[in-house]
Structure 1
Amino acid sequence: MTNNQTPTSAPLTDEERNRKSRKRKAILASGAVLGVGAVVTLAAWNDTVFGAGTFGIGNTAWNVQASVDGTNFDEYADSAAPGVISFPVVAGVNPINLMPGQTTKGSFWLKETKGFMDADVTIQAPANATNTLAQALYVTIKDGSTTLVNNKQLSASGISTTFRVTKATAKKIDFEVTLPANANPNLLVDTSVTPRWEMKAQSVDNP
Protein backbone atom coordinates (compact mmCIF):
# COMPACT_ATOMS: atom_id res chain seq x y z
CA MET A 1 0.00 0.00 0.00
CA THR A 2 1.40 3.29 -1.08
CA ASN A 3 1.32 6.44 1.26
CA ASN A 4 0.93 9.67 -0.82
CA GLN A 5 1.17 12.14 2.18
CA THR A 6 4.22 14.35 2.33
CA PRO A 7 6.21 13.81 5.54
CA THR A 8 5.84 16.80 7.89
CA SER A 9 9.49 16.63 8.74
CA ALA A 10 10.57 17.16 5.20
CA PRO A 11 13.18 19.95 4.98
CA LEU A 12 12.08 23.30 3.47
CA THR A 13 13.42 24.38 0.23
CA ASP A 14 15.41 27.61 -0.02
CA GLU A 15 12.47 29.32 -1.72
CA GLU A 16 10.08 28.32 1.10
CA ARG A 17 12.51 29.51 3.78
CA ASN A 18 12.92 32.88 2.02
CA ARG A 19 9.15 33.28 1.63
CA LYS A 20 8.51 32.58 5.36
CA SER A 21 11.34 34.90 6.38
CA ARG A 22 9.87 37.76 4.29
CA LYS A 23 6.40 37.15 5.81
CA ARG A 24 7.82 37.14 9.37
CA LYS A 25 9.68 40.41 8.77
CA ALA A 26 6.59 42.01 7.31
CA ILE A 27 4.53 41.00 10.37
CA LEU A 28 7.21 42.31 12.72
CA ALA A 29 7.46 45.57 10.82
CA SER A 30 3.69 45.98 10.87
CA GLY A 31 3.62 45.28 14.59
CA ALA A 32 6.31 47.87 15.23
CA VAL A 33 4.34 50.54 13.39
CA LEU A 34 1.14 49.62 15.21
CA GLY A 35 2.98 49.62 18.49
CA VAL A 36 4.34 53.15 18.05
CA GLY A 37 0.91 54.37 17.00
CA ALA A 38 -0.66 52.90 20.14
CA VAL A 39 1.80 54.73 22.45
CA VAL A 40 1.13 58.13 20.82
CA THR A 41 -2.64 57.91 20.89
CA LEU A 42 -3.28 56.09 24.17
CA ALA A 43 -0.74 57.61 26.62
CA ALA A 44 0.57 61.10 27.45
CA TRP A 45 2.72 62.79 30.10
CA ASN A 46 0.90 65.25 32.41
CA ASP A 47 2.33 68.02 34.55
CA THR A 48 1.16 71.28 36.22
CA VAL A 49 2.98 74.44 37.31
CA PHE A 50 1.69 77.55 39.15
CA GLY A 51 2.69 81.22 39.18
CA ALA A 52 1.80 83.74 41.89
CA GLY A 53 2.21 87.48 42.49
CA THR A 54 1.76 89.73 45.51
CA PHE A 55 0.34 93.24 45.15
CA GLY A 56 -0.32 96.11 47.51
CA ILE A 57 0.08 99.83 48.12
CA GLY A 58 2.44 99.62 51.07
CA ASN A 59 4.94 102.22 49.87
CA THR A 60 2.55 104.15 47.63
CA ALA A 61 -0.17 104.98 50.15
CA TRP A 62 -0.84 108.69 49.87
CA ASN A 63 -3.13 111.22 51.48
CA VAL A 64 -3.37 115.01 51.76
CA GLN A 65 -5.02 116.65 54.74
CA ALA A 66 -5.52 120.27 55.77
CA SER A 67 -5.42 122.35 58.90
CA VAL A 68 -6.77 125.74 59.88
CA ASP A 69 -4.31 126.15 62.76
CA GLY A 70 -1.15 124.37 61.53
CA THR A 71 -1.45 121.69 64.22
CA ASN A 72 -4.64 119.68 63.85
CA PHE A 73 -5.08 118.11 60.41
CA ASP A 74 -8.24 116.60 58.96
CA GLU A 75 -9.62 115.40 55.61
CA TYR A 76 -12.00 118.30 54.84
CA ALA A 77 -13.04 116.34 51.75
CA ASP A 78 -16.65 117.57 51.68
CA SER A 79 -17.29 120.94 50.00
CA ALA A 80 -20.23 121.40 52.34
CA ALA A 81 -17.94 121.15 55.37
CA PRO A 82 -14.63 122.81 54.42
CA GLY A 83 -11.85 123.81 56.76
CA VAL A 84 -12.76 127.37 57.76
CA ILE A 85 -9.79 129.68 57.24
CA SER A 86 -9.35 132.13 60.08
CA PHE A 87 -9.05 135.77 59.04
CA PRO A 88 -8.35 137.41 62.42
CA VAL A 89 -9.01 141.04 63.20
CA VAL A 90 -5.63 142.76 62.95
CA ALA A 91 -4.94 146.49 63.26
CA GLY A 92 -8.64 147.26 63.16
CA VAL A 93 -9.28 145.31 59.96
CA ASN A 94 -12.34 143.12 60.48
CA PRO A 95 -12.92 140.52 57.71
CA ILE A 96 -16.71 140.73 58.05
CA ASN A 97 -16.77 144.54 58.12
CA LEU A 98 -14.21 145.54 55.50
CA MET A 99 -13.75 149.16 54.56
CA PRO A 100 -12.49 150.29 51.12
CA GLY A 101 -8.70 149.96 50.91
CA GLN A 102 -8.47 147.27 53.62
CA THR A 103 -6.90 143.81 53.32
CA THR A 104 -7.59 140.85 55.58
CA LYS A 105 -5.19 137.91 55.84
CA GLY A 106 -5.56 134.26 56.79
CA SER A 107 -3.55 131.04 56.54
CA PHE A 108 -4.29 127.44 55.61
CA TRP A 109 -1.99 124.42 55.94
CA LEU A 110 -1.67 121.32 53.76
CA LYS A 111 0.16 118.11 54.59
CA GLU A 112 0.81 114.78 52.88
CA THR A 113 0.38 112.34 55.76
CA LYS A 114 1.73 108.95 54.58
CA GLY A 115 5.34 109.96 54.04
CA PHE A 116 6.02 108.14 50.75
CA MET A 117 5.25 110.66 47.99
CA ASP A 118 5.04 114.42 47.55
CA ALA A 119 1.91 116.22 46.30
CA ASP A 120 1.48 118.80 43.56
CA VAL A 121 -1.41 121.11 44.40
CA THR A 122 -3.44 123.71 42.51
CA ILE A 123 -6.03 125.94 44.13
CA GLN A 124 -9.22 126.26 42.08
CA ALA A 125 -11.27 129.44 41.75
CA PRO A 126 -14.16 129.44 44.27
CA ALA A 127 -17.12 128.44 42.12
CA ASN A 128 -19.64 129.67 44.67
CA ALA A 129 -18.29 133.25 44.82
CA THR A 130 -20.32 135.06 42.17
CA ASN A 131 -22.31 137.78 43.93
CA THR A 132 -21.68 141.53 43.78
CA LEU A 133 -19.34 141.54 46.77
CA ALA A 134 -17.28 138.68 45.28
CA GLN A 135 -16.98 140.74 42.12
CA ALA A 136 -15.64 143.67 44.14
CA LEU A 137 -13.14 141.74 46.27
CA TYR A 138 -9.66 140.78 45.09
CA VAL A 139 -7.57 137.86 46.33
CA THR A 140 -3.85 137.11 46.45
CA ILE A 141 -2.59 133.67 47.49
CA LYS A 142 1.04 133.04 48.42
CA ASP A 143 3.34 130.14 49.17
CA GLY A 144 5.91 131.93 51.27
CA SER A 145 7.46 134.51 48.97
CA THR A 146 5.98 132.84 45.86
CA THR A 147 2.72 134.31 44.57
CA LEU A 148 0.26 131.65 43.43
CA VAL A 149 -2.69 133.95 42.61
CA ASN A 150 -1.83 137.61 42.06
CA ASN A 151 -4.53 140.13 43.02
CA LYS A 152 -7.34 138.52 41.02
CA GLN A 153 -11.05 139.25 41.28
CA LEU A 154 -12.46 136.80 43.83
CA SER A 155 -15.35 135.83 41.56
CA ALA A 156 -12.95 134.85 38.77
CA SER A 157 -9.59 134.29 40.43
CA GLY A 158 -8.70 131.30 38.26
CA ILE A 159 -6.51 128.31 39.01
CA SER A 160 -3.40 128.98 41.06
CA THR A 161 0.15 128.24 40.06
CA THR A 162 0.97 124.63 40.99
CA PHE A 163 2.96 124.23 44.16
CA ARG A 164 4.49 121.21 45.87
CA VAL A 165 3.78 119.82 49.31
CA THR A 166 6.71 117.70 50.43
CA LYS A 167 5.79 114.30 51.86
CA ALA A 168 5.09 114.28 55.61
CA THR A 169 5.71 118.05 55.79
CA ALA A 170 3.17 120.81 56.44
CA LYS A 171 2.93 123.66 53.92
CA LYS A 172 1.42 127.02 54.91
CA ILE A 173 -0.56 128.92 52.29
CA ASP A 174 -1.44 132.59 52.90
CA PHE A 175 -4.63 134.22 51.64
CA GLU A 176 -5.05 137.99 51.30
CA VAL A 177 -8.49 139.42 50.47
CA THR A 178 -8.79 143.12 49.62
CA LEU A 179 -11.67 145.52 49.17
CA PRO A 180 -10.15 148.09 46.80
CA ALA A 181 -10.10 151.75 47.80
CA ASN A 182 -12.23 152.63 44.76
CA ALA A 183 -14.98 150.10 45.56
CA ASN A 184 -18.41 151.59 44.83
CA PRO A 185 -20.84 150.84 47.71
CA ASN A 186 -23.81 151.55 45.45
CA LEU A 187 -22.92 148.47 43.41
CA LEU A 188 -22.62 146.13 46.40
CA VAL A 189 -26.09 144.68 46.70
CA ASP A 190 -24.65 141.73 48.64
CA THR A 191 -23.00 142.37 52.00
CA SER A 192 -21.27 139.00 52.52
CA VAL A 193 -19.74 136.10 50.64
CA THR A 194 -18.20 132.80 51.78
CA PRO A 195 -15.90 131.49 49.05
CA ARG A 196 -14.85 127.84 49.07
CA TRP A 197 -11.45 127.15 47.50
CA GLU A 198 -10.96 123.61 46.26
CA MET A 199 -7.35 122.44 46.47
CA LYS A 200 -6.64 119.66 43.99
CA ALA A 201 -3.67 117.47 44.85
CA GLN A 202 -1.88 114.90 42.73
CA SER A 203 0.75 112.46 43.94
CA VAL A 204 4.33 112.82 42.77
CA ASP A 205 6.06 109.47 42.26
CA ASN A 206 9.46 110.55 43.47
CA PRO A 207 12.16 108.21 44.83
Structure 2
Amino acid sequence: MSNQSQQSSVAESRNRRNRKIAAISAGALVVGLGAAYTLASWNDSEWVWGGADGDPNVGTSTFEVNQNTTSPFSNDAANWVDAETNPGGELTFSPGSLSLTPGDTIYAPVSLRTEADSDGAAVALQGAVAATGITVTDAGQGLWNAIQTSVYTQSGAADSTPPACTAAGIGGSDWSQVLDTAALGTAATGPQNLSADAGSTQHYCFALTLPTGSSDELQGRTIAPAWEFRAESVSD
Protein backbone atom coordinates (compact mmCIF):
# COMPACT_ATOMS: atom_id res chain seq x y z
CA MET A 1 0.00 0.00 0.00
CA SER A 2 1.29 3.44 -0.93
CA ASN A 3 1.83 6.13 1.61
CA GLN A 4 -1.03 8.13 0.11
CA SER A 5 -3.45 5.23 0.54
CA GLN A 6 -2.43 4.78 4.16
CA GLN A 7 -3.08 8.43 4.88
CA SER A 8 -6.51 8.20 3.24
CA SER A 9 -7.47 5.17 5.35
CA VAL A 10 -6.39 6.85 8.58
CA ALA A 11 -8.39 9.96 7.69
CA GLU A 12 -11.51 7.92 6.95
CA SER A 13 -11.19 6.03 10.27
CA ARG A 14 -10.77 9.32 12.12
CA ASN A 15 -13.90 10.71 10.42
CA ARG A 16 -15.97 7.66 11.40
CA ARG A 17 -14.81 8.00 15.02
CA ASN A 18 -15.68 11.68 15.08
CA ARG A 19 -19.18 11.01 13.70
CA LYS A 20 -19.78 8.37 16.39
CA ILE A 21 -18.71 10.73 19.17
CA ALA A 22 -20.99 13.42 17.78
CA ALA A 23 -23.96 11.01 17.70
CA ILE A 24 -23.36 9.90 21.30
CA SER A 25 -23.08 13.51 22.43
CA ALA A 26 -26.33 14.39 20.69
CA GLY A 27 -28.11 11.46 22.38
CA ALA A 28 -26.78 12.50 25.75
CA LEU A 29 -28.02 16.01 25.12
CA VAL A 30 -31.54 14.72 24.36
CA VAL A 31 -31.60 12.60 27.55
CA GLY A 32 -30.40 15.54 29.59
CA LEU A 33 -33.13 17.77 28.24
CA GLY A 34 -35.78 15.17 29.12
CA ALA A 35 -34.56 14.91 32.72
CA ALA A 36 -34.51 18.68 33.04
CA TYR A 37 -38.09 18.86 31.78
CA THR A 38 -39.34 16.33 34.40
CA LEU A 39 -37.71 18.15 37.30
CA ALA A 40 -39.32 21.40 36.25
CA SER A 41 -42.99 20.10 36.45
CA TRP A 42 -45.55 22.04 38.57
CA ASN A 43 -46.99 20.62 41.81
CA ASP A 44 -50.29 21.35 43.60
CA SER A 45 -52.49 19.78 46.36
CA GLU A 46 -56.04 20.33 47.63
CA TRP A 47 -57.19 19.35 51.16
CA VAL A 48 -60.66 19.06 52.74
CA TRP A 49 -61.70 18.22 56.31
CA GLY A 50 -64.79 17.07 58.17
CA GLY A 51 -65.92 20.33 59.72
CA ALA A 52 -68.62 22.96 59.70
CA ASP A 53 -68.02 26.62 60.57
CA GLY A 54 -64.72 25.71 62.18
CA ASP A 55 -66.16 22.89 64.31
CA PRO A 56 -66.12 19.09 63.84
CA ASN A 57 -69.07 17.63 61.95
CA VAL A 58 -68.41 13.94 62.55
CA GLY A 59 -69.20 12.49 65.99
CA THR A 60 -71.42 10.23 68.07
CA SER A 61 -74.80 10.62 69.72
CA THR A 62 -75.48 10.29 73.46
CA PHE A 63 -77.76 7.80 75.20
CA GLU A 64 -78.95 7.85 78.80
CA VAL A 65 -82.09 6.68 80.58
CA ASN A 66 -83.03 8.06 84.01
CA GLN A 67 -85.37 6.73 86.70
CA ASN A 68 -87.69 8.30 89.25
CA THR A 69 -88.81 6.17 92.21
CA THR A 70 -90.52 8.88 94.27
CA SER A 71 -93.82 7.96 95.91
CA PRO A 72 -95.92 10.03 95.78
CA PHE A 73 -94.53 10.97 92.38
CA SER A 74 -92.55 14.20 92.04
CA ASN A 75 -91.35 15.42 88.65
CA ASP A 76 -88.62 17.67 90.09
CA ALA A 77 -85.38 17.40 88.12
CA ALA A 78 -83.48 16.25 91.21
CA ASN A 79 -85.65 13.13 91.41
CA TRP A 80 -84.55 11.88 87.99
CA VAL A 81 -81.38 9.90 88.62
CA ASP A 82 -79.06 7.42 86.94
CA ALA A 83 -78.53 4.06 88.70
CA GLU A 84 -76.91 1.62 86.27
CA THR A 85 -75.75 -1.15 88.62
CA ASN A 86 -77.50 -3.61 90.93
CA PRO A 87 -79.24 -2.85 93.31
CA GLY A 88 -80.07 0.51 91.66
CA GLY A 89 -82.73 2.94 92.82
CA GLU A 90 -84.83 2.00 95.85
CA LEU A 91 -88.50 1.26 95.22
CA THR A 92 -90.94 2.55 97.84
CA PHE A 93 -93.46 -0.22 98.48
CA SER A 94 -96.80 0.43 100.12
CA PRO A 95 -97.02 0.14 103.93
CA GLY A 96 -96.83 -3.36 105.32
CA SER A 97 -94.22 -4.64 102.88
CA LEU A 98 -92.23 -6.22 105.74
CA SER A 99 -95.26 -7.77 107.43
CA LEU A 100 -97.01 -9.65 104.65
CA THR A 101 -99.61 -12.28 105.40
CA PRO A 102 -101.07 -14.72 102.86
CA GLY A 103 -103.26 -12.89 100.35
CA ASP A 104 -101.54 -9.50 100.77
CA THR A 105 -100.33 -7.42 97.81
CA ILE A 106 -97.91 -4.49 97.97
CA TYR A 107 -97.26 -1.86 95.28
CA ALA A 108 -94.32 0.30 94.19
CA PRO A 109 -94.01 2.79 91.30
CA VAL A 110 -91.07 3.75 89.08
CA SER A 111 -90.90 6.00 86.02
CA LEU A 112 -88.34 6.12 83.20
CA ARG A 113 -87.39 8.68 80.58
CA THR A 114 -84.37 9.61 78.49
CA GLU A 115 -82.11 12.53 79.34
CA ALA A 116 -82.12 15.79 77.44
CA ASP A 117 -80.15 15.39 74.17
CA SER A 118 -80.30 11.58 74.45
CA ASP A 119 -81.39 9.18 71.72
CA GLY A 120 -84.71 7.43 72.19
CA ALA A 121 -84.85 4.05 73.93
CA ALA A 122 -86.50 0.66 73.75
CA VAL A 123 -86.83 -0.62 77.34
CA ALA A 124 -87.40 -4.24 78.36
CA LEU A 125 -87.99 -5.24 81.99
CA GLN A 126 -85.96 -8.30 82.98
CA GLY A 127 -86.82 -10.87 85.61
CA ALA A 128 -85.86 -10.14 89.21
CA VAL A 129 -82.52 -11.16 90.69
CA ALA A 130 -81.19 -10.81 94.22
CA ALA A 131 -80.22 -7.25 95.14
CA THR A 132 -76.46 -6.90 95.52
CA GLY A 133 -75.15 -6.17 99.01
CA ILE A 134 -78.50 -6.59 100.81
CA THR A 135 -78.68 -9.16 103.64
CA VAL A 136 -81.88 -11.22 103.66
CA THR A 137 -83.35 -14.10 105.68
CA ASP A 138 -84.82 -16.69 103.32
CA ALA A 139 -83.49 -20.22 103.79
CA GLY A 140 -83.93 -22.25 100.64
CA GLN A 141 -85.43 -19.23 98.88
CA GLY A 142 -88.87 -20.22 100.14
CA LEU A 143 -90.30 -16.70 100.23
CA TRP A 144 -88.60 -15.75 96.96
CA ASN A 145 -90.21 -18.69 95.19
CA ALA A 146 -93.62 -18.01 96.73
CA ILE A 147 -93.98 -14.33 95.80
CA GLN A 148 -96.01 -13.62 92.66
CA THR A 149 -95.25 -10.54 90.55
CA SER A 150 -97.45 -8.42 88.32
CA VAL A 151 -96.24 -5.30 86.50
CA TYR A 152 -98.30 -2.55 84.89
CA THR A 153 -97.19 0.28 82.64
CA GLN A 154 -98.49 3.52 81.15
CA SER A 155 -96.92 5.88 78.61
CA GLY A 156 -97.27 9.59 79.23
CA ALA A 157 -95.97 12.97 78.19
CA ALA A 158 -92.65 14.27 79.45
CA ASP A 159 -94.24 16.04 82.42
CA SER A 160 -96.98 13.49 83.07
CA THR A 161 -97.98 12.14 86.48
CA PRO A 162 -98.56 8.38 86.68
CA PRO A 163 -101.91 6.85 87.59
CA ALA A 164 -102.17 5.64 91.17
CA CYS A 165 -100.00 2.57 91.78
CA THR A 166 -102.55 0.96 94.10
CA ALA A 167 -105.15 -1.79 93.99
CA ALA A 168 -107.75 0.77 92.95
CA GLY A 169 -105.42 2.42 90.44
CA ILE A 170 -104.48 -0.72 88.52
CA GLY A 171 -108.14 -1.63 88.32
CA GLY A 172 -108.73 1.37 86.04
CA SER A 173 -108.13 1.64 82.31
CA ASP A 174 -104.97 3.77 82.48
CA TRP A 175 -102.57 0.90 83.19
CA SER A 176 -101.57 -1.89 80.78
CA GLN A 177 -100.31 -5.17 82.21
CA VAL A 178 -96.91 -6.38 80.98
CA LEU A 179 -96.42 -9.17 83.55
CA ASP A 180 -99.31 -11.17 84.94
CA THR A 181 -98.94 -12.99 88.27
CA ALA A 182 -95.60 -14.65 87.58
CA ALA A 183 -92.58 -15.81 89.55
CA LEU A 184 -90.05 -13.15 90.50
CA GLY A 185 -87.53 -14.23 87.86
CA THR A 186 -89.97 -13.76 84.98
CA ALA A 187 -89.34 -11.02 82.41
CA ALA A 188 -92.13 -8.70 81.32
CA THR A 189 -93.44 -8.40 77.79
CA GLY A 190 -92.08 -5.49 75.80
CA PRO A 191 -90.20 -3.47 74.99
CA GLN A 192 -91.68 -0.06 75.73
CA ASN A 193 -90.38 2.95 73.82
CA LEU A 194 -89.07 6.20 75.29
CA SER A 195 -88.88 9.30 73.12
CA ALA A 196 -85.56 11.05 72.59
CA ASP A 197 -84.59 14.19 74.49
CA ALA A 198 -86.78 13.44 77.54
CA GLY A 199 -89.82 13.65 75.27
CA SER A 200 -91.97 11.06 77.04
CA THR A 201 -92.23 9.18 80.34
CA GLN A 202 -92.95 5.49 80.84
CA HIS A 203 -94.55 4.76 84.20
CA TYR A 204 -94.49 1.33 85.85
CA CYS A 205 -96.27 -0.18 88.85
CA PHE A 206 -94.92 -3.31 90.55
CA ALA A 207 -97.38 -5.49 92.47
CA LEU A 208 -96.00 -8.29 94.68
CA THR A 209 -98.39 -10.82 96.20
CA LEU A 210 -97.94 -13.47 98.86
CA PRO A 211 -100.49 -16.03 97.68
CA THR A 212 -103.32 -17.25 99.83
CA GLY A 213 -102.43 -20.60 101.37
CA SER A 214 -98.68 -19.89 101.62
CA SER A 215 -96.82 -22.12 104.09
CA ASP A 216 -96.44 -21.13 107.73
CA GLU A 217 -92.72 -21.78 107.24
CA LEU A 218 -92.46 -18.46 105.40
CA GLN A 219 -93.04 -16.42 108.55
CA GLY A 220 -90.27 -13.99 109.53
CA ARG A 221 -88.47 -14.11 106.19
CA THR A 222 -87.18 -11.28 104.04
CA ILE A 223 -86.12 -10.93 100.41
CA ALA A 224 -84.69 -8.09 98.30
CA PRO A 225 -85.50 -8.46 94.59
CA ALA A 226 -83.85 -6.16 92.05
CA TRP A 227 -85.05 -5.59 88.49
CA GLU A 228 -83.15 -4.40 85.43
CA PHE A 229 -84.75 -2.22 82.79
CA ARG A 230 -82.55 -3.13 79.84
CA ALA A 231 -82.50 -0.24 77.38
CA GLU A 232 -81.23 0.06 73.81
CA SER A 233 -80.96 3.27 71.85
CA VAL A 234 -83.34 3.84 68.95
CA SER A 235 -83.70 6.62 66.41
CA ASP A 236 -86.97 8.52 66.51
**Do they superpose with TM above 0.5?**
yes
What is the aligned-residue RMSD (CA, Å)?
3.2
The 1-side partners of 2:207 and 2:86 are apart by 21
1:139 equivalenced with 2:149 (yes/no): yes
Q: CA deviation at 1:143?
A: 1.0
User: C-alpha deviations, 1:112-153, integer Å up to 9, x for none?
Assistant: 012453211111112217821110001011113322222111
How do 1:79-94 residues align onto structure 2 when only pairs under 5 Å count? 79-80=86-87, 82-89=88-95, 94=96
The 1-side partners of 2:187 and 2:113 are apart by 23
Match of 2:59 in 1: 56
How do 1:1-207 residues align onto structure 2 when only pairs under 5 Å count? 30=27, 33-53=30-50, 54=56, 55-57=58-60, 60-69=61-70, 70=73, 71=75, 72-80=79-87, 82-89=88-95, 94-128=96-130, 131-144=141-154, 145-154=175-184, 156-158=185-187, 160-167=189-196, 168=198, 169-186=200-217, 188=218, 191-206=221-236
User: C-alpha deviations, 1:32-64, integer Å up to 9, x for none?
Assistant: 73354223554443323322113234xx32211
The 2-side partners of 1:98 and 1:189 are apart by 9
Q: CA deviation at 1:198?
A: 1.1
What 5-or-longer segments of structure 2 have no aligned partner?
1-18, 51-55, 132-139, 155-174
The 1-side partners of 2:187 and 2:24 are apart by 95
Q: For CA contacts below 8 A with separation 6 or more, give which structure has more relative contact order.
A: 2
Provide closer, same or farther for how the CA distance between residues 36 and 185 of structure 1 changes in structure 2, counting only shifts above 3 A.
farther
Give the TM-score taking structure 1 as reference length.
Answer: 0.73
Q: CA deviation at 1:87?
A: 1.1
The 1-side partners of 2:122 and 2:219 are apart by 38
Q: CA deviation at 1:190?
A: 6.6
Contact 2:127 2:188 in 1 (8 A): yes
Q: CA deviation at 1:166?
A: 2.3
Give the TM-score taking structure 2 as reference length.
Answer: 0.64
The 2-side partners of 1:116 and 1:194 are apart by 31
Aligned partner letter, 1:76: A
The 1-side partners of 2:215 and 2:28 are apart by 113
What secondary structure, in the 3-state scheme, does the structure 2 residue paired with 1:158 have? coil
Match of 1:11 in 2: none
Aligned residues: 181
The structure with more radius of gyration: 1
What secondary structure, in the 3-state scheme, does the structure 2 residue paired with 1:131 have? helix
What 5-or-longer segments of structure 1 have no aligned partner?
1-21
